[in-house]
Amino acid sequence: MGGRRYFLGMAARALTIFAMAIVALAMGALPLGGGAAFADSAPMPNPFSKYSTAEGAVLAVRSEFAPVGGRVRITVYDGEANFLEMAAAKLEGEVNEDGVALVTFYGAKPGVYAFVAYFDENGDGKLNRSFIGKPKEPYVFSNDIRPKMRKPTFNETKVAIAPGEVVVLTLKD
């Protein structure tokens, strides 16, 4: 009987030490991974900031499939009342060797805007659609919003910008 009591006592001590370690980890008292636990809090450099200009906001539309020289078209909306109905601006750019089309939105006043970009695969200047209205060409809304059965809202796609900022949109095939 003494052996069993000894075993139960050891098991209780092991559980207590384990529980104390869990509490210490939760409170941050024990290092985890040699200091790498806080790596996510370090700011990451924005690789697109090199395209910034004081003349306006820069729209960087990136793609892994669009060929160099391909045309990207961007529509800018400046409010909920006109969203997807009347554009504040229409811009276009050419895909460079890095797979990015850089377009400067000159004269952009600080404020809230929504963007829609698409890769004009056939060069006709229009976003081609299927008979049910679904886009046939690769497109992206700001904030990477892609609702399945409805149009996105201005609030979902709005982005606060100011001159000198770079907005990155990623086209998906």
Residue 119 has pLDDT above 80, yes or no: yes
d(CA 118, CA 141): 9
pLDDT tens, position by position, 7-49: 445 545 544 555 454 544 444 444 444 434 444 555 656 677 7
**Domain locations in the chain as residue ranges:** 2-41, 51-170
| Rounded Cα–Cα distance for residues 61 and 52 (Å) | 14
pLDDT at 91 over 80: yes
User: Which pTM was predicted?
Assistant: 0.71
Q: Which amino acid is at 23?
A: V
Spatial distance between the Cα atoms of 103 and 35, rounded to a whole number of angstroms: 41
The residue behind tokens 């299927």 is 130
Level-2 CATH architecture, domain 51-170: Sandwich (2.60)
Q: Supply the pLDDT for residue 16.
A: 54
pLDDT digits (tens, 9 = 90+) for 5-16: 544 455 455 445
Structure tokens at 141: 């809304």
Of 48, 50, 52, which Cα lies nearest the Cα of 61?
A: 48
